[in-house]
Amino acid sequence: MVVSLDLLTRVRNIHWKVPDGAIFAIGDDHGYIWHCTMAGKKAVPTFKKVGQIGPDNETETSYLPPGKFWASSFALIGTGKTPTFILGGHAFIRKPETSTIGAIWLANDGETWTQVWTGVEQRSPREFVRDANEFYAWMIYNEPDSPGHDGGDFSECWSSSDGASWELINSESGLAVNPVFESHCRYKYSSAAGSLARKGLADGQFGFDEKNNLLITVEDKPDDSVQTISFAGSIWGRGARPGFEVSVDDGVNWTFAGNVEQPPPGLGQTNIWTAIAGPLKEIRAWQNARL
């Protein structure tokens, strides 16, 4: 049978309907990156490890994890709606003393990651927020003393339009959250949040379902086990210490998706520290457009 070139072209250009769902980019407090996909409300979530913030530090005589992830964010950028996940934190380094160096990692699909920013020693991102087509990062810099110069602790705000190129826009003495960064946080902790009262909620600390006008934050957690929560594509996701859970009914019920790996016995527990959601439909549409 002869098949026309026109028919082959039309078959090639068919894109199967993608269900409403979400991809979650997850960072734990030992520096590993995890990926969870929930392809529709009736789907079974997938969960797997896809990267780490720095090199393995474990030796025959000591254990030191790769680092720690603190922050996450997501945006659809530009007219092409390029999906952009970012995770930030610090890697541990031996010199031979243990120290840290900041890092920001980026992925378009939540699975294939590239380090796009490296800080100087003792400078690392702690929180991200997306506002007015810009990413903002709150960073802490513990500047060391140097000959003829006294160092100190600095609270910084950095900005980026694409998540890859970053610029310092404000620096304040001390360790309090940078006020410029705070000004870009749309939602705040309640006045009853103790030491966190009225502090801005960073990305990964809340989810907002615009269709149903529903905001759920880490303040709404039933106990102190939930460090992070986010929403996209009708799916909620939260980190509940070592486990990640998803909800399809506005947080009423939660389904277990997977646990992060644990260190050797006697060396504490690895917990999920930050996670951010991206809409599955838009991510798949961007991928299909590039085929």
Residue with tokens 């070592």: 242
- Find the mean pLDDT for residues 92-99: 79
**pLDDT of 14 higher than 50:** no
- Find the mean pLDDT for residues 32-54: 95
Contact yes or no for 202/138 (Cβ under 8 A): yes
Strands 214-217 and 206-209, sheet pairing: antiparallel
Give dist(CA 45, CA 195) in Å, integer: 36
What are the C-alpha distances in Å from 252 to residues 12, 36, 187, 206? 41, 20, 22, 16
Of the candidates 233, 245, 285, 250, the residue with the CA atom closest to the CA atom of residue 26: 245
Give the pLDDT of residue 64. Answer: 80
pLDDT tens for 172-187 read: 999 999 999 999 999 9
pTM over 0.85: yes
Of the candidates 86, 84, 82, the residue with the CA atom closest to the CA atom of residue 71: 86
Give dist(CA 13, CA 76) in Å, integer: 23
- Find the mean pLDDT for residues 50-77: 86
* Whole-number average pLDDT of the chain: 90
Residue with tokens 């294939």: 112
- Find the mean pLDDT for residues 279-288: 96
What secondary structure letter does DSSP report for 220? G
Give dist(CA 229, CA 257) in Å, integer: 14
How much of the chain is helix, strand and coil, in % rounded to 5?
Answer: 10, 50, 40
**pLDDT of 7 higher than 50:** no
**pLDDT of 237 higher than 70:** yes
**Residue spans per domain, the chain:** 21-289
pLDDT tens for 116-167 read: 999 998 999 999 999 999 999 999 999 876 676 677 899 999 999 999 999 9
Residue with tokens 């149903």: 212
Residues 6+ apart with CB under 8 A from 84: 74, 75, 76, 77, 106, 108, 162, 163
Give the pLDDT of residue 165. Answer: 98
pLDDT tens for 157-167 read: 999 999 999 99
